[in-house]
Structure 1
Amino acid sequence: MDRCPGQYCGRTLFDNGSWSDCGACERGYRVNESFVCSPCRDELNTYSWLYLGFMAMLPLMLHCFFIDLNAKDRKFSRKQLILTACAFIEVTLSAILSILLMEPMWEFRLHSCGVRKFTDWYTLFYNPSPNYETRLHCTQEAVYPL
């Protein structure tokens, strides 16, 4: 099998046994050393879970900010309490359902590709241009699901 250009371009194996052209891997897959798209099977570490928790808390903080901003009086009213409770329920349910609906389905765990290099965060800047003619778009989530 020929080498694919760029760091993040790979080939996918089809059901009939043939290989695809070089391109971006599917969601949840990453290029290995032989330029084949392989599934991500690493477990998330504690830092990654904390990062996802922080990203899930941002909408709740924004909800609370705008609930407080729209309050007519400066006292904490029953209406504000109900809106804050609804925002908390909405954010919590969406975070839990997002985890449960990703692979592996209906399990409270996630598979990750992990970070190997600093460039994994910025794959957009590493799309190759074979023969300096056209750009081959291999942008993907190299650090899936982060």
Structure 2
Amino acid sequence: MLQKRWRMTNQRKVILEELRNSKGHLSADELYMLVKRKLPNVSISTIYRNLEELAEQGLIRKLGPRSTQKRFDANVQPHFHIRCVKCGRIDDVPFSMLEKVRNAINESTSMVEKITGYDVVGYHLEFLGVCPDCQKKLEEKKERESYGR
């Protein structure tokens, strides 16, 4: 099978740079708005295609369940995320206690392999919750509704 040659194009460099400079986990649409400032002629399809290529090369990580808009993370080191079930925002989980979770999962790997017959090559753990912004919106909505009675 013929493998295609991969190279770091200027578009990929700009996409990767914008993603690395961001403070969050951007969607392709959010990244498109940032990249468009530097590359005015770039198309959204170019952004999607290059994000897929960068993920295939291991330079970024695709995040999120299949049913929502994908977000991308320039931090490819092992770490955990928390995703808002209301707006889809994703943040890194910073606490050191998660090392205990990682150790428990690693200890369970051999049992999972025995039960399933799979050769486990990794895992993905994502916490779900409601972000502070959405919590605030929900509280404001409740307040408005209680005043309306």
Which category of TM-score, normalised to the shorter sequence, fits these structures? Answer: under 0.3
Which structure shows the bigger proportion of residues in strand conformation? 2
TM-score, L = length of structure 1:
0.21
- Give the structure with higher Rg (CA): 1
Which structure shows the bigger proportion of residues in helix conformation? 2
Q: Which structure would you say has the larger RCO, counting Cα contacts within 8 Å and 6 or more residues apart?
A: 1
TM-score, L = length of structure 2:
0.21
